[in-house]
Amino acid sequence: MNLKHWMGAYMILVPIAILFILRFFIPGMESTRSTLAIVTEGKNAVPREIVELLDPYARIREYPDIESMEKKLKGIGVVEGLYWNPGNQKFVSVLEKLPEGNAAASVAVRVIRQHYYQKGHGEEDAVVSFRAGVPYELSGRSVISPVASMGGSIFFVFMIIIAAFMIGLGVVNDKEDGTDRAIRVSPVTKAEYFVGKSIFPVILFLVYAIITLVVLGLLDVNIGQMYVIAFVSLPVVLLFGLFLGALANNENEAIGVGKLLSWLVMMAILGGTLLPDKWQWVVWWAPFYWVYNMMESIFTNSAEWGDLMWKSAVTLVLTAIFFFLLRKKIIKGLS
């Protein structure tokens, strides 16, 4: 039934494409390093010794003159420039795209200063130590890219919408084909009918939860916590799907209603993402907000069971409240 129309196949296949697109934008460790545009030819050339010294701490881009270096600085991205001034016998570091008067020291400045300090002071301890890896004091931090943690959380909520959409479309297709009238005179109860309509979308939702972890490289998260939240999300999926099936009488109406409901969902997510902490209460009414909040904490390895339990309870209570408020509309639309 889900593959009967193009929309069913679309909702099954498109999420995996979205995941791979999202994976493409997750930066690797190499992309987190600074970029240095260094003049290495002519009178402004930086000595090769210094270029090699800076290589472990930044991506090096070599240019024949200052003009070529400046073109790179004016391009896309954050780049630091470096050249030698033969007039005053000093290195010049250029930080482009910063406010006027900014006195921040670039990576090149800090490394070069340390280098010459140690050369002049022999066996003395370094004033500043530089490491290409992660220092011990930061070893416990999350190493997960924000693109993966935030993107994965949003995708998880997106899959709730997809699964609910499939449930709703299944009900609407039965309305259009007249199958619902045949089912009413069969031994099948309403509960059995809705459970049957929900089996495939729910399985798809749970399978995509694992696919998300694999594709986005999040396999070091707590799988148990994730599946607790996945099962807590199931009532939200069923409520959204039944409401969609109740409101719409044909496929076009279902698509329109689904879009409107999705906009409300995404407004809650955007509010939770963009609003400052003191204004987060504005979107506390949405079960989707709590699901997103819990998933992000799981994906950043900062979730604690106590927090997950009370947030799960809030999600279930809000879902029950919405079902109580919408039950007459749902019962009428599905009768």
pLDDT of residue 30: 44
Strands 79-85 and 90-95: antiparallel
Selection from 258, 262, 292 nearest residue 275 by Cα: 292
Where residue 257 falls (left for φ over 0; alpha for ψ -120 to 50; beta otherwise) is: alpha
End-to-end CA distance of the chain: 21
* Confidence bin at 320 (pLDDT 50/70/90): very high
pLDDT of residue 310: 94
Average pLDDT of the residues in 77-105: 74
pLDDT of residue 17: 83
Average pLDDT of the residues in 303-317: 91
> For the ranges 101-110, 123-132, 176-185, 287-296, which has the lowest average pLDDT?
123-132
More confident residue, 280 or 139: 280
Helix (H, G, I), strand (E, B) or coil at 110: helix
* Confidence bin at 313 (pLDDT 50/70/90): very high
CB within 8 A of 208, min separation 6: which ones? 15, 16, 159
Selection from 230, 199, 198, 228 nearest residue 212 by Cα: 230
Instruction: Give me the phi and psi of 214, to 5 degrees please.
Output: -70, -50
Task: Supply 278's token pair.
Answer: 């003191």
For the cut 60, the answer to whether the pLDDT of residue 78 exceeds it is: yes
Distances from the Cα of 10 to the Cαs of 6, 123, 243, 309, in angstroms? 6, 67, 21, 35
Q: DSSP class of residue 39? A: E
Give me the sheet containing 34-39, strands edge to edge: 58-63, 34-39, 79-85, 90-95
Task: Supply 127's token pair.
Answer: 């004033």
Q: Which residues, in sequence order, are bridge partners of residue 36?
A: 60, 80
Average pLDDT of the residues in 215-230: 83
Q: Angle between the 287-299 and 146-177 helix axes, to the nearest 10 degrees?
A: 140
Kindly report the CA angle at 109 between 107 and 114, in degrees rounded to 5? 100
Q: Where are the domains of the chain?
A: 6-25+145-334, 30-138
pLDDT tens for each residue of 25-61: 665 544 445 788 889 998 999 988 888 888 887 788 8
For the cut 90, the answer to whether the pLDDT of residue 314 exceeds it is: yes
Confirm if 91 and 85 have CB atoms less than 8 A apart: yes
pLDDT of residue 315: 92
Selection from 229, 226, 164 nearest residue 172 by Cα: 164
For the cut 60, the answer to whether the pLDDT of residue 138 exceeds it is: no
For the cut 80, the answer to whether the pLDDT of residue 294 exceeds it is: yes
Percentage of the residues of the chain whose pLDDT score is greater than 90: 6
